[in-house]
Homo-oligomer: A and B are copies of this chain.
Amino acid sequence: MASVRTCTTLSSKISNNLAWKKSIRVYRKHGVRHMSAASASGTFKASDLQIDFCPPENLKMKPAVKDLVFGRSFTDHMLKILYTDQSGWGQPRITPLQDLRLHPAAKVLHYSVELFEGMKAFRGVDDEIRLFRPNKNMERMNRTAARCSLPTFDGDELIALLKKMISVDQEWVPHTESSSLYIRPTLIGIEPTLGVQRPVEALLFVILSPVGPYFSSGFKPVSLLADPQYVRAWPGGMGMMKSGSNYGPTLEIQRYAEAKGLHQVLWLFGPEHRITEVGAMNIFIFLDKGNGEKELVTPPLDGLILPGVTRDSLLTLAREWGEFQVSERDITMTELVQASHDKKLLEMFGAGTAAVVTPVGSIHYQDQVINIPTMDHDQPLNQRFYNTITGIQYGRIASPWAMSIQ
């Protein structure tokens, strides 16, 4: 198996030098302006992209794949696009990765005027680099922006910019199927005023991070804390948006779960303890219906649930397969406990971009521990999903969901 090159200072400098020259060649070939004079009227267009390459002597060493921890190391470049009410979107710029300079009154630091997306680029078995359904992320990012009083943008242009950006940092896309390049588009309100009002200035930026498996435990089933006293989202709120405000309030509950020796939080809602999400993933439950029928259940998009790209992909695959019932419906802890008691609870797993599919092994709920035989079957459904999704992502399975960056 190939790997991101291990780092000695010398070999890294040489390889980074090569990568840098290759990047410039790629860019010249694709006709992108290198350090062009700033165009006076940038408009979020990939064709207006200005690239300020990281000097070769500043290129960073790439960590070994085995040392990758989710979201801890970043590539050499970033993308920035400024917005003001007065001028609209500015010219996209790729620059060396650098600190942002923000006025201490910037709204993002006080009122959580911020949102993000999570995407990945995969180096396929054919060495081609692919994105996975990036248009879904662009749609969600724009929906979230509109709800957060942040400016919307042309998603196709941002996809084109992401492709160019990944080309520049292409040597950072790991040479192994266990890893990928995580893409973090972020949109923040930066107007430096303290009124609780929509910002008139915003910054869209993208950073890239080579990542291994999200959970260092690998594909081992995780344990969940299901405590109905903590609520992630509610009707009339914005739990369906990928905004920062949905994440900050969860950190302490996650810490509380970890203090109990558990991996993640299963978020419940309402007096009937409806199951909504797990950690920062959507949740799937595979049930034996008793009459030879099986049912895959995930909670419906009722405003409490993040409309995950992986969620949508699993539902679409399951419906194409047509082998079992596929339901977007409410499911409560009472039903889950009963199904477990009746040995009808076959599998439970989280679905999300960071971890793809994460099997659940147990739920700690009130005074009970519900053990779930998620991985104890021949050919578990979650593994089949995982293999199919990653097969598409790494170019082993042809699919319109995979988009080459070329």
> Closest CB of chain B to A200's CB: distance in Å?
12
Contact for A251 among B103, B198, B209, B237, CB less than 8 A: B198
A245-B235 Cα distance, complex, nearest whole Å: 16
8 sampled A-B residue pairs with Cβ under 8 A: A71-B195, A74-B192, A100-B104, A101-B101, A104-B186, A112-B243, A198-B252, A243-B248
Chain B residues within an 8 Å CB radius of A366: none
> Is there a chain B Cβ closer than 8 Å to A138's Cβ?
no
Stretch at the interface among A11-19, A217-225, A226-234: A226-234
Q: How many copies are assembled?
A: 2
> Is there a chain B Cβ closer than 8 Å to A125's Cβ?
no
Contact for A248 among B69, B112, B186, B209, CB less than 8 A: B112
Chain B residues within an 8 Å CB radius of A8: none
Please determine whether B74 and A105 come into contact, CB atoms closer than 8 angstroms.
yes
Chain B residues within an 8 Å CB radius of A260: none
Please determine whether A254 and B101 come into contact, CB atoms closer than 8 angstroms.
no
Chain A, range 249-287, C-beta contacts under 8 Å to B: 249-252, 254-255, 279-280
Chain B residues within an 8 Å CB radius of A70: 194-195
Beyond A103-B99, A234-B234, is A247–B195 a contact (Cβ under 8 Å)?
no
Chain A, range 102-157, C-beta contacts under 8 Å to B: 102-105, 108-114, 116, 146-149
> Is there a chain B Cβ closer than 8 Å to A97's Cβ?
yes
Chain B residues within an 8 Å CB radius of A71: 105, 193-195
Please determine whether B104 and A97 come into contact, CB atoms closer than 8 angstroms.
yes
> Closest CB of chain B to A159's CB: distance in Å?
20
> Is there a chain B Cβ closer than 8 Å to A244's Cβ?
yes
Contact for A111 among B101, B230, B247, CB less than 8 A: B247
Please determine whether A110 and B251 come into contact, CB atoms closer than 8 angstroms.
no
A27-B154 Cα distance, complex, nearest whole Å: 54
Chain B residues within an 8 Å CB radius of A195: 69-72
Contact for A149 among B147, B192, B234, B255, CB less than 8 A: B255
Please determine whether A104 and B112 come into contact, CB atoms closer than 8 angstroms.
no
> Is there a chain B Cβ closer than 8 Å to A238's Cβ?
yes
Please determine whether A236 and B244 come into contact, CB atoms closer than 8 angstroms.
no
Contact for A147 among B182, B198, B207, B252, CB less than 8 A: B252
> Closest CB of chain B to A348's CB: distance in Å?
20
> Is there a chain B Cβ closer than 8 Å to A161's Cβ?
no
A279-B111 Cα distance, complex, nearest whole Å: 13
> Closest CB of chain B to A239's CB: distance in Å?
10
Contact for A249 among B146, B228, B238, CB less than 8 A: B238
A228-B186 Cα distance, complex, nearest whole Å: 31
Chain A, range 60-75, C-beta contacts under 8 Å to B: 69-72, 74
A110-B113 Cα distance, complex, nearest whole Å: 10
A244-B199 Cα distance, complex, nearest whole Å: 14
> Is there a chain B Cβ closer than 8 Å to A379's Cβ?
no
> Is there a chain B Cβ closer than 8 Å to A364's Cβ?
no
Please determine whether A110 and B186 come into contact, CB atoms closer than 8 angstroms.
yes
